[in-house]
Amino acid sequence: MAKNVVVIGAQWGDEGKGKIVDWLAEETAGVVRFQGGHNAGHTLVVGGKKTVLRLIPSGILHEKLDCFIGSGVVVSPEALMGEIDELNAAGVKNVEGRLKIAPTATLILPYHIALDQAREASRGSGKIGTTGRGIGPAYEDKVARRAVRMVDLFDTEKLLPKLQANVEYYNVQLQHLHQAEPVKLEDVLAVIEKYAGRIKPMITDVSRTLYEKNQKG
Protein backbone atom coordinates (compact mmCIF):
# COMPACT_ATOMS: atom_id res chain seq x y z
CA MET A 1 0.00 0.00 0.00
CA ALA A 2 1.18 3.54 -0.73
CA LYS A 3 2.29 5.70 2.19
CA ASN A 4 -0.90 7.79 1.92
CA VAL A 5 -4.24 6.68 0.46
CA VAL A 6 -7.00 9.22 -0.28
CA VAL A 7 -10.66 8.25 -0.67
CA ILE A 8 -12.74 10.85 -2.53
CA GLY A 9 -16.36 10.38 -3.53
CA ALA A 10 -17.94 11.28 -6.86
CA GLN A 11 -20.08 14.07 -5.34
CA TRP A 12 -23.15 12.11 -4.30
CA GLY A 13 -24.15 10.22 -1.17
CA ASP A 14 -24.47 6.52 -0.39
CA GLU A 15 -21.28 5.59 -2.27
CA GLY A 16 -19.80 3.44 0.47
CA LYS A 17 -16.92 5.80 1.30
CA GLY A 18 -17.17 4.99 5.00
CA LYS A 19 -17.08 1.27 4.34
CA ILE A 20 -14.04 1.61 2.09
CA VAL A 21 -12.22 3.70 4.70
CA ASP A 22 -13.11 1.20 7.41
CA TRP A 23 -11.71 -1.63 5.26
CA LEU A 24 -8.50 0.26 4.42
CA ALA A 25 -8.06 1.23 8.09
CA GLU A 26 -6.97 -2.31 8.92
CA GLU A 27 -3.60 -1.55 7.31
CA THR A 28 -3.06 2.08 8.32
CA ALA A 29 -1.54 4.09 11.16
CA GLY A 30 -4.34 6.65 11.17
CA VAL A 31 -7.49 7.86 9.43
CA VAL A 32 -8.07 11.53 8.57
CA ARG A 33 -11.25 13.34 7.65
CA PHE A 34 -10.29 16.43 5.69
CA GLN A 35 -13.58 18.21 4.85
CA GLY A 36 -17.35 18.25 5.27
CA GLY A 37 -19.71 18.40 8.20
CA HIS A 38 -22.12 16.12 10.02
CA ASN A 39 -24.62 15.61 7.22
CA ALA A 40 -22.78 12.51 6.02
CA GLY A 41 -23.97 9.12 7.21
CA HIS A 42 -21.44 6.31 7.10
CA THR A 43 -23.17 3.11 8.18
CA LEU A 44 -20.92 0.29 9.33
CA VAL A 45 -21.83 -3.17 10.62
CA VAL A 46 -19.06 -4.73 12.67
CA GLY A 47 -19.60 -7.88 14.72
CA GLY A 48 -23.32 -7.62 14.06
CA LYS A 49 -23.51 -4.09 15.52
CA LYS A 50 -24.72 -1.22 13.35
CA THR A 51 -22.90 2.10 13.77
CA VAL A 52 -23.71 5.35 11.93
CA LEU A 53 -20.91 7.95 11.83
CA ARG A 54 -21.59 11.47 10.56
CA LEU A 55 -18.54 13.38 11.74
CA ILE A 56 -15.95 11.06 13.25
CA PRO A 57 -13.79 9.07 10.78
CA SER A 58 -15.01 5.49 10.37
CA GLY A 59 -11.58 4.18 11.40
CA ILE A 60 -12.53 4.91 15.03
CA LEU A 61 -13.96 1.39 15.34
CA HIS A 62 -10.41 0.01 15.07
CA GLU A 63 -9.53 0.34 18.72
CA LYS A 64 -5.76 0.91 18.35
CA LEU A 65 -6.09 3.48 15.57
CA ASP A 66 -5.81 7.26 15.89
CA CYS A 67 -8.39 9.29 13.97
CA PHE A 68 -8.02 12.91 12.89
CA ILE A 69 -10.48 15.71 12.10
CA GLY A 70 -8.60 18.12 9.86
CA SER A 71 -8.70 21.85 9.31
CA GLY A 72 -11.18 21.61 6.44
CA VAL A 73 -13.94 20.06 8.54
CA VAL A 74 -16.71 22.16 10.10
CA VAL A 75 -17.56 20.72 13.51
CA SER A 76 -20.84 20.85 15.41
CA PRO A 77 -19.99 20.51 19.13
CA GLU A 78 -23.36 18.87 19.85
CA ALA A 79 -23.00 16.39 17.00
CA LEU A 80 -19.41 15.59 17.93
CA MET A 81 -20.08 14.87 21.58
CA GLY A 82 -23.32 13.02 20.79
CA GLU A 83 -21.44 10.72 18.44
CA ILE A 84 -18.68 10.15 20.97
CA ASP A 85 -21.26 9.28 23.62
CA GLU A 86 -22.92 6.79 21.24
CA LEU A 87 -19.57 5.12 20.53
CA ASN A 88 -18.76 4.96 24.24
CA ALA A 89 -22.16 3.39 24.93
CA ALA A 90 -21.49 0.82 22.18
CA GLY A 91 -18.27 -0.21 23.93
CA VAL A 92 -15.74 1.37 21.55
CA LYS A 93 -12.60 1.95 23.62
CA ASN A 94 -10.79 5.24 24.27
CA VAL A 95 -12.66 7.28 21.66
CA GLU A 96 -11.70 10.68 23.10
CA GLY A 97 -8.11 9.56 23.63
CA ARG A 98 -7.71 8.52 19.98
CA LEU A 99 -9.59 11.36 18.32
CA LYS A 100 -7.44 14.38 17.37
CA ILE A 101 -8.98 17.66 16.15
CA ALA A 102 -7.11 20.38 14.26
CA PRO A 103 -6.99 23.74 16.09
CA THR A 104 -7.99 25.48 12.86
CA ALA A 105 -11.19 23.46 12.33
CA THR A 106 -14.29 25.68 12.29
CA LEU A 107 -17.08 25.37 14.85
CA ILE A 108 -20.73 25.22 13.78
CA LEU A 109 -22.68 27.38 16.23
CA PRO A 110 -26.40 28.16 16.74
CA TYR A 111 -26.37 31.21 14.45
CA HIS A 112 -25.17 29.05 11.55
CA ILE A 113 -28.06 26.66 12.04
CA ALA A 114 -30.59 29.48 12.40
CA LEU A 115 -29.49 31.16 9.16
CA ASP A 116 -29.33 27.87 7.25
CA GLN A 117 -32.92 27.06 8.21
CA ALA A 118 -34.19 30.62 7.71
CA ARG A 119 -32.73 30.77 4.21
CA GLU A 120 -34.35 27.49 3.29
CA ALA A 121 -37.73 28.64 4.61
CA SER A 122 -37.45 31.89 2.63
CA ARG A 123 -36.91 30.00 -0.63
CA GLY A 124 -40.46 28.61 -0.57
CA SER A 125 -40.99 26.32 -3.56
CA GLY A 126 -37.35 26.86 -4.56
CA LYS A 127 -35.95 24.99 -1.56
CA ILE A 128 -32.67 23.22 -2.21
CA GLY A 129 -33.19 20.48 0.38
CA THR A 130 -30.42 21.47 2.76
CA THR A 131 -30.17 19.50 5.98
CA GLY A 132 -30.34 22.81 7.85
CA ARG A 133 -27.43 21.86 10.09
CA GLY A 134 -25.43 25.07 9.57
CA ILE A 135 -22.70 23.55 7.43
CA GLY A 136 -22.92 26.03 4.53
CA PRO A 137 -22.91 29.18 6.68
CA ALA A 138 -20.00 27.80 8.72
CA TYR A 139 -17.97 27.42 5.52
CA GLU A 140 -18.90 30.97 4.58
CA ASP A 141 -17.41 32.13 7.88
CA LYS A 142 -14.26 30.15 7.20
CA VAL A 143 -13.77 31.80 3.82
CA ALA A 144 -14.65 35.27 5.19
CA ARG A 145 -12.16 34.84 8.06
CA ARG A 146 -14.71 35.42 10.81
CA ALA A 147 -15.01 31.77 11.84
CA VAL A 148 -14.74 30.67 15.44
CA ARG A 149 -12.12 27.92 15.37
CA MET A 150 -11.19 25.23 17.85
CA VAL A 151 -8.15 27.19 18.99
CA ASP A 152 -10.42 30.07 20.06
CA LEU A 153 -11.76 27.90 22.88
CA PHE A 154 -8.48 28.48 24.74
CA ASP A 155 -8.76 32.29 24.83
CA THR A 156 -12.11 33.40 26.24
CA GLU A 157 -11.10 37.10 26.27
CA LYS A 158 -10.76 37.11 22.49
CA LEU A 159 -13.58 34.66 21.94
CA LEU A 160 -16.35 36.76 23.48
CA PRO A 161 -16.03 39.85 21.23
CA LYS A 162 -15.70 37.55 18.21
CA LEU A 163 -18.97 35.84 19.14
CA GLN A 164 -20.69 39.16 19.80
CA ALA A 165 -19.70 40.45 16.35
CA ASN A 166 -20.87 37.25 14.66
CA VAL A 167 -24.21 37.22 16.49
CA GLU A 168 -24.85 40.84 15.42
CA TYR A 169 -23.87 40.04 11.83
CA TYR A 170 -26.17 37.02 11.66
CA ASN A 171 -29.09 38.69 13.41
CA VAL A 172 -29.20 41.45 10.78
CA GLN A 173 -29.77 38.76 8.14
CA LEU A 174 -32.15 36.71 10.24
CA GLN A 175 -34.41 39.63 11.18
CA HIS A 176 -34.27 41.88 8.12
CA LEU A 177 -33.81 39.44 5.24
CA HIS A 178 -35.72 36.43 6.50
CA GLN A 179 -38.07 37.82 9.19
CA ALA A 180 -36.79 35.15 11.56
CA GLU A 181 -36.10 35.21 15.27
CA PRO A 182 -32.67 36.55 16.31
CA VAL A 183 -30.09 34.37 18.03
CA LYS A 184 -29.19 35.22 21.62
CA LEU A 185 -25.53 35.51 22.56
CA GLU A 186 -26.17 33.65 25.83
CA ASP A 187 -27.48 30.64 23.88
CA VAL A 188 -24.27 30.53 21.83
CA LEU A 189 -22.15 30.82 24.97
CA ALA A 190 -24.16 28.03 26.61
CA VAL A 191 -23.24 25.64 23.79
CA ILE A 192 -19.56 26.50 24.07
CA GLU A 193 -19.53 26.24 27.86
CA LYS A 194 -21.29 22.88 27.74
CA TYR A 195 -18.82 21.20 25.40
CA ALA A 196 -15.51 23.11 25.50
CA GLY A 197 -14.15 21.19 28.49
CA ARG A 198 -14.44 17.86 26.68
CA ILE A 199 -13.31 19.15 23.29
CA LYS A 200 -10.13 20.99 24.30
CA PRO A 201 -8.10 17.88 25.30
CA MET A 202 -8.67 16.48 21.79
CA ILE A 203 -7.30 19.56 20.00
CA THR A 204 -3.94 18.64 18.47
CA ASP A 205 -1.57 19.97 15.81
CA VAL A 206 -2.92 17.51 13.26
CA SER A 207 -0.66 18.67 10.41
CA ARG A 208 2.52 18.17 12.44
CA THR A 209 1.34 14.84 13.83
CA LEU A 210 0.63 13.51 10.35
CA TYR A 211 3.96 14.83 9.07
CA GLU A 212 5.77 13.01 11.87
CA LYS A 213 3.86 9.79 11.14
CA ASN A 214 4.93 10.03 7.50
CA GLN A 215 8.54 10.64 8.49
CA LYS A 216 8.44 7.45 10.55
CA GLY A 217 7.07 5.53 7.58
| Whether residue 14 lies in the annotated active site | yes
CA 208 to chain centre: 20
Q: What is the CA radius of gyration of the chain?
A: 18
Nearest to 140 by CA among 172, 163, 166: 166
**Cα 205 from Cα 89, distance rounded (Å):** 28
| Whether residue 42 lies in the annotated active site | yes
**Cα 147 from Cα 106, distance rounded (Å):** 6
**Cα 18 from Cα 40, distance rounded (Å):** 9
Asked whether 202 and 151 are in contact (CB, 8 A), the reply is no
Helix and strand counts by DSSP (H, E) for the chain: 8, 7
Catalytic one among 38, 42, 112, 152?
A: 42
**Cα 111 from Cα 117, distance rounded (Å):** 10
**Cα 126 from Cα 213, distance rounded (Å):** 47
Q: Reduced to 3 states, what is the DSSP secondary structure of residue 32?
A: strand
Q: What are the catalytic residues?
A: 14, 42
